Amino acid sequence: MAIGGVAASGVQDLKQLQELEKLQKSQDAGFSAKISENATYDFTSGQEKELSTTDCYRKADEGKASQAEGEAQAANCQELQTAGENDNYDGRMSSAHSSSDKQFSILSDAVGTIKDTTSGITGLNNRRAEITNWLKEAEPSMQQMQEQVTELQAQLEEIQEQIEAKQEELDAKQAEMEALANDPDATPEEVAALQGELDGLSAEMEELSAQVADISAAIGEIEEAMTTTSEEIQTKVEEEATLSQSVAQKTETGKAAQVTAQQSVITNEQIIEDSKDDSQEREEFGDNMAQVGEITSYAGTSIKVTGKILTKMANPYCVAVGTAMIPVGQTVYGTGKVTQGAGQTISAVANGEYKSLIGAATNLASGAGAMASGIGGMKDAFASSKETLTAAKNAQDAANTAKDAANTAKDAAKENMANVTEATTKGTETAAKATEAGQAAAQNAAQNAAEKAADGAGNAAGKVADGAGKAADGADKASKGASLKDKFKAGVDKAKELKSKYGDDVQSLASAGKAIYDGVQGLRSKDDGDDKNEEKKTTTSTTTVTSSTGNTDTSYESVLDKKRKKQAIA
C-alpha cells in the first residue's frame, strides 16, 4: 500500500489529510500571497516559516517521492477495481441462488410427497383398522356357528344310535314276519299283531327321519352362513393384503422422498454456507478496496497541495517540481475516490447478498423443520401401520382358525348326517321288507284259513249230500230236505262270517256254499223218490254252479286255485 508515501509528505494521519483538503480550498483566498520567496508551510504547526534553499530542495525531493508512491497506489487501486470487476461474484451468486431455489423446490416437493404419503398411509390404516375390527367380530360368530354345528352333530349321533337300535328291532321283526309267512299254521291275528309292531317301528323311524331332516336343514342354514362369512373373511383378508401392499409402497415412496428431502437440505446448506463465505470475503474485499481508495484520494490531495506550495516558491526547480505534481495529485485523488466508491459498492452488494443468504438459511431451516415434521408423521403412520398390520394379522389368524374349526365341524356333521341317512334308508328298506313279508304272511294265513273253511264246507256238503240220498230213500224227504236247507243256510252264514273275517279270499267259499245249497235243492226236486244214491253222491260231488257273473264255476278246489292265482298275479 502507498501509505508510506503519504507519511513522507508530512501527513501523519487522516486528520492531517483533512486539513490539507481545507488548505486546498482556501488557496484562492490569498494563501499563496502569504508565502515569501524562501518560505513554506509547516504542516506540523500550521504556521508559515522561513525555509532555506536546502529545505526547498528537500521538500521538492519529498514531493517527488510522494508523487511516485501516490502513482503506485493509484495503480494498485486500478488493479483492485479490475479484480473486483473480473471476480464474477454476481455470476456465482446468481448460480448459487438458482441452485438454492432448485434445492428448495426439490425439498418442497419431497415434503409434499411425505405429507401426501403420510395422509395416504393414515387413510389406508383407518380402512385396515375397520377390517381388523370386522375380523375380530367375525371370530366369535364363526366360533358360535362351530358350537352350533357341534351340538347338532351330537344330536345326529344320538339319533344315529336310536336308528341303529330301531334297525335291530326291525331286523328281528322282519325275521319273525318271514317265519310267519312260511308258517302254514299262522293265524291272521298273529300276523296282524306283528304287523302292528312293525307299523309302530316304522312310525318311530319316520319320526327319527323327520328329526334328521330338521337337523339337516339347520346345518344347511348354518353351513350357508358359514360359507358366506368365510367368503367375507377371505374378501376382507385379500383387501387387507392389498392395503398392506399399498402401505408398503407408500412407505417406500415416503422413505425415498425423505432421502431426497434430507439430501436437498444438505446440498442447500452447503450452497448457502459457501455463498455466505463468498459474500463475506467479497464484502471484506470491498471494505479494503474502499479504504485503499480513500487513503489514495488523501495521498492525491497531499500531492496536489504539496505541488501548489512548491509552485509558490522562488526557486525555479521547486516550482517545476510542484507544477508537475499538481495533475498527478489530481489523478491520484480521482483514482482513490473511484476505488473507494467501487469498494463501498462491492461491500454493500456483498452485504446484501449475505443478508439474503441468511434469510435463505432461515427459510431452509423452516423447510427442514417441515421435512422433519413430515418424516415424523410418516414414521408415526408407519408405526401405526405396523400395529394395524399386527392386529389385522392376529384377527385374521383367529378368524381363519375359527373358520377352519367350523368347517371341520361342518364336515363331521355332514359325515354323521350321511351315516344317519344311510341308517335311516336301511331301516326304511327293512321296514318295507318286513311289511312285504307281513302282507305275504297275512295273505297265507287268510288263504290257509279259507282252505280249511272250504275243506270243512266240502266235507259238510258231501255228508249232507249223502244224507240227502239216504233220506230220499226214506219216507220223509221233504222234512229232511227242509232240515238240509236250514243247515245249508247256516253254512252260507258261516261262509259270510268267514268272508267278513278273511276278506275276499272266502268269497269263493260263500259262492261254493250257495252252489251246494242250490244243487241240493235241485237234487231234491229232480230225484223225487229216486233211489239211485250212488248217482246222487256223484252228482253232488261234481256239481257245477253259476257265479254271479254268469260264468260257469268249477269245483271248490278249482275256485280256490283260481283265487290263489289271481292273488299271486296281484
* Cα–Cα distance, 35 to 50 (Å, whole number): 9
**All cell numbers assigned to 243:** 392395503
pLDDT interval class at 19 (50, 70, 90): low
pLDDT at 141 over 70: yes
Cell reading at 70: 501516490
- C-alpha closest to that of 43 among 55, 53, 29, 33: 55
Q: In this predicted model, which residue has the larger pLDDT, 566 or 210? A: 210
541 confidence band (pLDDT: 50, 70, 90): very low
Q: Taking the CB of residue 82, how many other CB atoms lie within 10 A of it? A: 10
pLDDT confidence tier of residue 544, bands split at 50, 70 and 90:
very low
Q: Answer whether residue 386 shows pLDDT above 70.
A: no
pTM of the predicted structure, to 2 decimals: 0.54
Higher pLDDT residue, 553 or 548?
Answer: 553
Buried/exposed code over 24-39 (b: 16+ C-beta within 10 A; e: otherwise): beeeeeebeeebeeeb
Residue 65 has pLDDT above 70, yes or no: yes
Rounded distance between C-alpha atoms, residue 394 and residue 452, angstroms: 85
Cell of 260: 431426497
pLDDT tens sequence across 309-320? 888 777 788 888
Asked whether the beta carbons of 321 and 347 are under 8 A apart, the reply is: no
Higher confidence at residue 67 or residue 3? 67
Q: Per-residue pLDDT averaged across 417-427, rounded?
A: 66
How do residues 208-249 score in pLDDT, each as one tens digit?
Answer: 888 888 888 888 888 888 888 888 888 988 888 898 888 889
Name the pLDDT band for 7 (thresholds 50, 70, 90). Answer: very low
Q: What rounded mean pLDDT belongs to the chain? A: 72
Contact status, residue 205 vs residue 163, Cβ threshold 8 Å = yes
- Residue 219 C-alpha cell reads as 346345518
Least confident of 414-423, 425-434, 447-456: 447-456
Question: 451 near 567, Cβ under 8 Å?
Answer: no
Between residues 159 and 427, which one has the greater pLDDT?
A: 159
- Strand (E) or helix (H) holding 545: strand 545-546
Query: Residue 348 — very low, low, confident or very high, per pLDDT cuts 50/70/90?
Result: very high
Lowest mean pLDDT among 61-65, 213-217, 288-292, 365-369: 365-369
Contact present, 323 and 38 (Cβ < 8 Å) = no
With bands split at pLDDT 50, 70 and 90, how would you rate the model's confidence at 338?
A: very high
Percent of the chain whose predicted confidence (pLDDT) is above 90: 6
Average pLDDT over residues 78-96: 88
Residue 545's pLDDT is what?
A: 39
Q: What are the sequence ranges of the domains in the chain?
A: 1-447, 474-569
Whether residue 288 is predicted with pLDDT greater than 90 in this model: the reply is yes
Provide DSSP, 146-169.
HHHHHHHHHHHHHHHHHHHHHHHH
Q: Output the pLDDT for position 560.
A: 46
Instruction: Please tell me the least confidently modeled range out of 94-103, 256-265, 397-406, 486-495.
Output: 486-495
**Sole residue written with cell 455463498:** 275
Residue type, 177: M
Q: What is the pLDDT of residue 458?
A: 45
Confidence of residue 490 (pLDDT cuts 50, 70, 90): low
